[in-house]
């Protein structure tokens, strides 16, 4: 057996929190459990319920077994923060999905005007490093792998006790020098721009969501979405990030915020909305357009004529071909279709004059302008070519929801009505509030939703909310 006084033999706090949800900015702690280790031995176990001051979603009550009645007489976080700090300060902070627990604690302390920072070891990452060939590193998989029992799964102290047992097993089964090297590597913090708090690395969640980079005066510099918020944010500041935008962000950034989502679909929707609403300085994609444009085909004696017109996406849902940010974008799309499909620009009204079009002279037109191609055939080909741009008909009887679940099993449903996004909800009351909300058509969200409906991603479920 490896010597007990080497690997993971210092002062350690194994921590688990139960919360009202997965967003450290919005949700609150409802239970804290801590197991303190010194020299590899358990020296104290501590747990407390916490009154969050907000409702506990029904899904969380089912998941944890913690009801609103149980926390009604519990102390608020302000009353337990001194006891938590006393136990945590000067110790290695160990947790499963450590960014979650560490980020929530830092957020709760920050709301009280107090600072907390500690070195952090994530046991998910430790499990992957110890057994890289094994699949599954959530707490249930780890318990099964090592035969660890838990009398109170999904309760804070019970899960913290599992972590303490995992560290004991790791000390027994791995050589101290090997374990020391793994832990030292996992504790190495990536480098951030010097003006950012180094503790940010241990707060950034490793799940999907949207992040916001702020500069001086709280100016919003950039909004981005990520499957892994931590990895994506750190990539902006990596030593090999040499693009002009990344260098500018590293120089200007002063603060990082984020919103966690249940999955990537929610992150895509939120990113598109935030960029349009807040207009970050360094974003170019997904910006709001003052007007939308479409291509129309009008009837004429010589065949259909193509025009580019401004679009009202709600009152004129199906009258045009395509939705574009600008007249120029619509013109480029039309020009590309004419060229690729060998259509006649003169017949479509895109070239003035008489005789053959330029495309015919260059061998890019089948001759509708000189009588080589029948006008009816050319008209049919033009409509078929443009039909691929046409906005799809709404394929449902009424409103729908796209349902996602996060790693805790908490559900988030994104509601749409005739391609218009109405909002997202995490419970029955929130969902009911969306019934009367008017959604606006957004071309980027339309494309995101259309991709999901055409090629459903794993973990997403389409729910029809009403019949008409």
How far is residue 412 from each of residues 78, 231, 405, 430, measured CA to CA in Å? Answer: 29, 23, 6, 10
Supply the mean pLDDT for the chain. 87
Residue with tokens 């029948």: 374
**Distance between CA 319 and CA 317 in Å, rounded?**
6
Q: Which two tokens stand for residue 142?
A: 């780890």
Task: Give 109-113's long-range contacts (Cβ < 8 A, gap of 24+).
Answer: 109/81, 109/85, 111/77, 112/77, 112/78, 112/81
Q: Phi-psi bin for 226: left (phi > 0), alpha (psi -120 to 50), beta? A: beta
Q: Which two tokens stand for residue 347?
A: 């017949």
Domain boundaries, given as residue ranges, for the chain: 11-188, 202-278, 292-387, 400-464
Q: Please tell me the predicted confidence (pLDDT) of residue 4.
A: 41
* Mean pLDDT value across residues 214-237: 91
Residue with tokens 């210092």: 10
* Segment holding 146, helix H or strand E: helix 139-146
Least confident residue range of 157-161, 230-234, 430-434: 430-434
**Distance between CA 381 and CA 424 in Å, rounded?**
42
pLDDT exceeds 70 at position 240: no
Handedness of CA 166, 172, 174, 175 (dihedral sign): positive
pLDDT exceeds 70 at position 428: no
Collapsing DSSP states into helix, strand and coil, what is residue 246?
A: helix
Q: How confident is the model at residue 436 (pLDDT cuts 50, 70, 90)?
A: confident
Quick: pLDDT tens for 343-355.
999 999 898 888 8
Q: Which residues contact 269 (CB under 8 A, 6 or more apart)?
A: 414, 421, 424, 445, 448
* Mean pLDDT value across residues 170-199: 86
Q: Please tell me the predicted confidence (pLDDT) of residue 18.
A: 96
Angle between helices 98-111 and 123-130 (to 10 degrees): 160
Least confident residue range of 112-126, 206-220, 282-296, 402-416: 282-296
* Mean pLDDT value across residues 361-368: 92
pTM metric for this prediction: 0.61
**Distance between CA 213 and CA 258 in Å, rounded?**
9
For the ranges 279-288, 299-308, 409-418, the one whose mean pLDDT is highest? 409-418
pLDDT exceeds 50 at position 5: no
Q: Which two tokens stand for residue 380?
A: 């049919």
Quick: pLDDT tens for 93-122.
999 988 889 989 988 998 999 988 888 999
Quick: pLDDT tens for 145-164.
999 999 899 899 999 999 99
Q: Which fold has domain 202-278?
A: GIY-YIG endonuclease (3.40.1440)
Residue with tokens 């962000």: 249
pLDDT exceeds 60 at position 167: yes
pLDDT exceeds 80 at position 319: no
**Strand spans (E) along 358-440:** 400-405, 411-417, 420-425
Q: How confident is the model at residue 242 (pLDDT cuts 50, 70, 90)?
A: low
Collapsing DSSP states into helix, strand and coil, what is residue 184?
A: helix
**Distance between CA 330 and CA 384 in Å, rounded?**
17
* Mean pLDDT value across residues 380-388: 90
145 close to 207: Cβ distance less than 8 angstroms: no
Could you tell me the strand order of the sheet in which 420-425 lies?
420-425, 411-417, 400-405, 461-464
Q: How confident is the model at residue 2 (pLDDT cuts 50, 70, 90)?
A: very low
Pairing of β 461-464 and β 420-425: unpaired
* Superfamily covering domain 11-188: Ribonuclease H-like superfamily/Ribonuclease H (3.30.420.10)
**Distance between CA 386 and CA 367 in Å, rounded?**
19
* Mean pLDDT value across residues 166-193: 88
155 or 203: which carries more pLDDT confidence?
A: 155
pLDDT > 90 fraction of the chain, expressed in percent and rounded: 49
pLDDT > 70 fraction of the chain, expressed in percent and rounded: 93
**Distance between CA 198 and CA 87 in Å, rounded?**
22
Q: Please tell me the predicted confidence (pLDDT) of residue 427.
A: 67
């Amino acid at each position: 057996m490896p010597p007990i006084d080497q690997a993971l033999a210092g002062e350690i706090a194994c921590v688990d929190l139960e919360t009202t949800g997965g967003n450290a900015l919005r949700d609150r702690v409802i239970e804290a459990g801590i197991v303190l280790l010194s020299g590899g031995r358990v020296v104290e176990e501590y747990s407390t319920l916490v009154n969050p001051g907000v409702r506990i979603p029904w899904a969380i009550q089912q998941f944890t077994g913690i009801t609103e009645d149980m926390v009604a007489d519990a102390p608020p976080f302000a009353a337990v923060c001194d006891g938590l700090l006393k136990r945590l300060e000067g110790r290695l902070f160990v947790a499963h999905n450590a960014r979650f627990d560490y980020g929530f604690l830092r957020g709760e302390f920050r709301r009280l005007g107090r600072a907390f920072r500690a070195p952090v070891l994530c046991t998910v990452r430790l499990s992957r490093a110890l057994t890289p060939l094994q699949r599954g590193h959530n707490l249930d998989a780890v318990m099964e792998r090592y035969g660890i029992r838990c009398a109170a799964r999904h309760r804070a102290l019970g899960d913290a006790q599992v972590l303490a047992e995992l560290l004991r097993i790791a000390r027994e089964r791995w050589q101290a020098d090997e374990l020391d090297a793994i832990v030292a590597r996992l504790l190495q913090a990536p480098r951030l721009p010097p003006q950012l708090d180094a503790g940010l690395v241990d707060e950034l969640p490793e799940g999907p969501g949207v992040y916001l980079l702020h500069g001086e005066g709280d100016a919003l510099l950039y909004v981005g979405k990520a499957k892994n918020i931590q990895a994506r944010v750190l990539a902006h500041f990596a030593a090999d990030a040499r693009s002009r935008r990344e260098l500018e962000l590293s120089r200007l950034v002063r603060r990082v915020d984020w919103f966690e989502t249940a999955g990537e679909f929610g992150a895509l929707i939120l990113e598109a909305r935030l960029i349009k609403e807040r207009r970050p300085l360094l974003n170019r994609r997904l910006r709001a357009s003052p007007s939308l444009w479409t291509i129309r085909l009008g009837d004429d004696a010589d065949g259909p004529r193509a025009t580019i017109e401004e679009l009202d996406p709600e009152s004129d849902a199906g009258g045009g071909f395509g939705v574009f940010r600008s007249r120029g974008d619509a013109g480029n799309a039309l020009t590309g279709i004419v060229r690729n499909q060998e259509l006649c620009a003169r017949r479509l009204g895109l070239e003035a004059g008489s005789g053959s079009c330029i495309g015919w002279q260059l061998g890019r037109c089948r001759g509708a302008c000189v009588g080589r191609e029948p006008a009816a055939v050319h008209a049919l080909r033009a409509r078929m070519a443009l039909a691929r741009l046409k906005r799809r008909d709404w394929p449902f009887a009424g409103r729908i929801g796209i349902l996602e679940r996060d790693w805790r099993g908490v559900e988030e449903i994104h509601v749409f009505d005739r391609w218009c996004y109405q909002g997202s909800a995490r419970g029955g009351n929130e969902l009911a509030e969306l019934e009367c909300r008017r959604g606006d058509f957004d071309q980027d969200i339309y494309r995101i939703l259309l991709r999901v409906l055409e090629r459903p991603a794993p973990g997403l479920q389409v729910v029809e909310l009403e019949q008409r």
